[in-house]
Amino acid sequence: MRDVSIAKSEFIPDQKAISKLQDIQEEPELFRYYSLPQCLKYILLFHWSNIMAMHTMLINKPPDTGNRTSRHSMHQDLHYFPFCPADRIVWSWTAMEKVHSLVVLPGSHHGTLKEHNYPEWEGGVNKMYHGVRDYDPNHPRVHLEMEKGDTLFFHPLLTHGSEMNQKQGFRKAISCHYAGANCYSIDVRGTTQENIGQEVYEIAASKYAVEDATFEDTWAVRGRLVQGDRTNL
């Protein structure tokens, strides 16, 4: 994924626009992260017998250009997933350097999945960076201070966001949405997730020339077994 304002700049080399590597599950060196005992010991506490890595990312947040496009507005990750239940999905996010740009709304995971869309930001918004349409701006916030190697485990309904990178260098983190393989797919048509489903479908159809793939299919091909048997997902 490329940062929207850097990608437009003729002065910055293309490689420097890369803000995320998505779907790195087939890259053997990076996939080692997903089966690290230090991460899995927490995932195993949920007693899922079969564990999938559904969404893998290396986040490489570029120095902000001044347009504030390196921000990620407040959102719930479940918005992106056509599978449930939410209690069988957990996100691990490991800081690859000292960082304090993540913000969370504590307790928000007890609520429901909210409607998301692109925020109306003047400087532009990165592709698929949807945000919750209306969350309580007075809800208490926690800014997470993390050292290199610190790892957070998030519920997929936890509202969170990420502030712009005001440093000179790229801010790196590696993450995985783990899910119990017995999660089941849902059809998002007619739900608040229909907009992201349509957008992901259009990207997949144009990139891979697969017009008959569904949003659920785009996730099924990304999922990779970490432990046990691949059952539903």
Ligand X SMILES: O=C(O)CCC(=O)C(=O)O
Contacts with ligand X by CB under 6 A lie at 59, 61, 72, 77, 160, 162, 173
Which residue number, 50 or 60, has a Cβ lying nearer to ligand X? Answer: 60
Find the shortest distance in angstroms from Cβ 122 to ligand X: 20
* Chain residue whose CB lies nearest ligand X: 162
Find the shortest distance in angstroms from Cβ 116 to ligand X: 11
CA distance 210 to 82: 18
Residue 144 sits at φ, ψ, to 5 deg, of -90, 125
Find the shortest distance in angstroms from Cβ 55 to ligand X: 9
Which residue number, 16 or 172, has a Cβ lying nearer to ligand X? Answer: 172
200 burial (CB, 10 Å; 0-12 / 13-18 / 19+) is buried
Q: Where are the beta strands (DSSP E) in the chain?
A: 20-22, 51-61, 72-75, 83-84, 89-95, 99-104, 116-117, 131-132, 142-146, 151-154, 160-162, 171-180, 184-185, 224-227
CA distance 142 to 138: 12
Find the shortest distance in angstroms from Cβ 32 to ligand X: 20
Which residue number, 50 or 82, has a Cβ lying nearer to ligand X? Answer: 82
Which residue number, 3 or 77, has a Cβ lying nearer to ligand X? Answer: 77
Going edge to edge, which strands form the sheet with 160-162?
Answer: 72-75, 160-162, 99-104, 142-146
Which residue number, 61 or 109, has a Cβ lying nearer to ligand X? Answer: 61
Find the shortest distance in angstroms from Cβ 71 to ligand X: 9
CA distance 78 to 89: 9
Which residue number, 59 or 188, has a Cβ lying nearer to ligand X? Answer: 59
Find the shortest distance in angstroms from Cβ 225 to ligand X: 22
Residue recorded with tokens 């260098």:
169
